Amino acid sequence: MNVQVDIQALWDQALERMRGQVDAESLQAWLMPARAHAFAESTLTLTVPSRFYVNWLSSNYRDVITRTVGELVDSPIHLAFRVQEIDGEMEPLPPAEPPRSHSGNGQETTTLISRNLNPRYTFDRFVIGESNRFAHAAAVQVADPASRAYNPLFIYGGVGLGKTHLMQAIGHQMLAADGGTRVLYVTSEQFMNAFIDAISTGKQLEFRALYRNVDLLLIDDIQFFTGKERTQTEFFHTFNALYDAGKKIVVSSDRPPKEIKTLEERLRSRFEWGLIVDIQQPDLETRVAILRRKGESEGMDLPSEVTLFIAEHIRSNIRELEGSLLRVKAFAMMANREIDLSLAREVLGSLMVSEAASQRVTVDRIQEVVCEYFNVTDAELIGESRIKKYAFPRHVAQYLCRTLTELSFPEIGQRFGGRDHTSVMHAVRKVEKALAVDSHVKNIVSYLVRRVKEG
């Protein structure tokens, strides 16, 4: 049998095994394009389409590839790459050293890169769902060193939904592509405090040298700049310096630029130069996937009914979701008990009651907010007319009822003129599809969610 065929068969078998460890979209985008080239002296060489694939696979999938292939051949292996376009051998990239910069006094100082980027916040650890797919795709594009698209990238969404994760994943990926890339991640509060310190110590020049000489600037929670006029002015000039130099800027907020009160108009307009994307609360399937991924990383044997139970009842954000899982794990270890549904109910019962009580979302409240926003009456909202003026608000209201309350499809149908549950399911799916492709619909739904929760 041809040796090359055996090598490719080994790789195909590895790909099949990795289906249970890597999400389908990532597998299709990054691993499937690779082809087995050679396997000699415990080193598997893969042929990939470009150097960007080398950097991406080395940074995000090296461990899962070497572990999976090593299990198949029952021996530890190494990984090398061959770029198809160049047709030359390329060894795996060594771990990138943090770039160094020089201060004004000539002393060498390490930048904030290694200290400010969380090593867990990489693209391969980010669970993709309908609620974040567009934001993830934009972040991946920005992370490509050859791309100049979406500058600046503005990511907004609620607390604990993955904004910081995506931002830092961009930084990690750019560092993986080029270890000399100057990446700086700070929160808006850190930026402001550093600026105040610079003013008080007379080191504005050093401050500007740091923030205006990076290849990628990541600013988290930009909404806290509101009311800070001098900080906004300084950031405005920092933004201009980086943008004019062709450097990349990514910022995050809990709301879109137009809703950030007292934000200077010139800053707001700068944010709108690029791409504005949002991250919403994850749907049930994404919450289940997040719990499974977290369980695997924690070495937990997690029954499917426990995963589903937590996902169905903890809806607020990813942080709460993962925290609930860790709470179950800790209780099981202390009590020396197996993790099962009864234990999960026992541990999380009070937490779920607290979350449900804190939301206090009712169908009446949802219908009231939707009617006010779309300027329709209650009768028109729950009526039979299929005219878009009434049908779209009705679909949105049913979607909000499904995502913000505990009501089942049949129960929601009863509150909308006694509709059949299949009609409600159709409405919810229609809105979900629109959210995946239409930023205008996303903005409307995000605004309505906030209004409903304001009470």
Q: Transcribe 303-333 into DSSP letters.
A: -HHHHHHHHHH--S-HHHHHHHHHHHHHHHH
d(CA 357, CA 344): 19
Query: How far from 39 is each of 9, 19, 69, 171, 399, CA to CA, in Å?
Result: 12, 22, 11, 32, 52
Predicted model pTM = 0.54
DSSP 355-403: HHHHH---HHHHHHHHHHHHT--HHHHHSS---HHHHHHHHHHHHHHHH
Residue keyed to tokens 């059949």: 420
Query: How far from 213 is each of 67, 170, 239, CA to CA, in Å?
Result: 39, 18, 11
Residue 277 token pair: 């994307």
d(CA 158, CA 352): 19
pLDDT of residue 25: 63
Closest to 289 in 3D by CA, of 258, 311, 316, 259 = 311
pLDDT of residue 360: 67
437 phi, psi to nearest 5 deg:
-130, -15
Query: How far from 31 is each of 54, 89, 94, 388, CA to CA, in Å?
Result: 11, 18, 20, 43
What one-letter code names the amino acid at 130?
E
d(CA 60, CA 356): 37
**DSSP-assigned letter for residue 92:** P
What one-letter code names the amino acid at 248?
K
Number of H helices, E strands in the chain: 21, 11
What would the pLDDT profile of 368-406 be if each residue is shown by its tens digit?
Answer: 999 999 999 999 999 988 898 999 999 999 999 988 887
One digit per residue, the tens of pLDDT, for the chain of length 455 reads 333 447 888 898 899 888 878 877 677 767 888 888 888 878 898 988 766 677 778 877 888 999 999 888 888 898 988 876 433 333 333 333 333 333 333 333 333 333 478 888 899 889 888 888 899 999 999 999 888 888 899 999 887 888 999 999 999 999 888 888 889 999 888 899 889 988 988 888 888 888 988 899 999 988 888 778 899 999 999 999 999 888 999 999 988 888 887 788 888 888 888 899 988 888 888 888 888 888 888 888 888 888 888 888 777 778 888 888 888 888 888 888 888 888 888 878 755 544 544 456 889 999 999 999 999 999 999 998 889 899 999 999 999 998 888 788 888 988 998 888 888 989 998 998 888 888 888 888 988 988 887 76
**Helices 229-244/188-201 angle, 10° precision:** 100
Query: How far from 125 is each of 122, 344, 370, 397, 442, CA to CA, in Å?
Result: 6, 25, 36, 33, 25
Sign of torsion over alpha carbons 433, 439, 445, 449: positive
d(CA 48, CA 87): 10
Identify each DSSP E strand in 76-175 by its residue range: 78-83, 88-90, 100-102, 108-110, 153-157
Report yes or no: 281 and 318 within 8 Å, Cβ to Cβ. Answer: no
* CA end-to-end span of the chain: 70
50 contacts: CB under 8 Å, gap ≥ 6: 83, 84, 85
pLDDT of residue 136: 93
Residue keyed to tokens 């695997």: 296
What one-letter code names the amino acid at 78?
H
pLDDT of residue 353: 44
pLDDT of residue 99: 35
- Residue 39, Cα to own-chain centre: how many angstroms? 36
d(CA 114, CA 298): 24
Domains and CATH numbers, the chain: 7-83 (3.30.300.180), 113-278 (3.40.50.300), 284-347 (1.10.8.60), 363-454 (1.10.1750.10)
d(CA 76, CA 36): 17
pLDDT of residue 164: 92
Beta bridge partners, 250, equal 153, 218
d(CA 363, CA 280): 20
What would the pLDDT profile of 323-367 be if each residue is shown by its tens digit?
Answer: 888 888 888 888 888 888 888 888 787 555 445 444 568 899 999
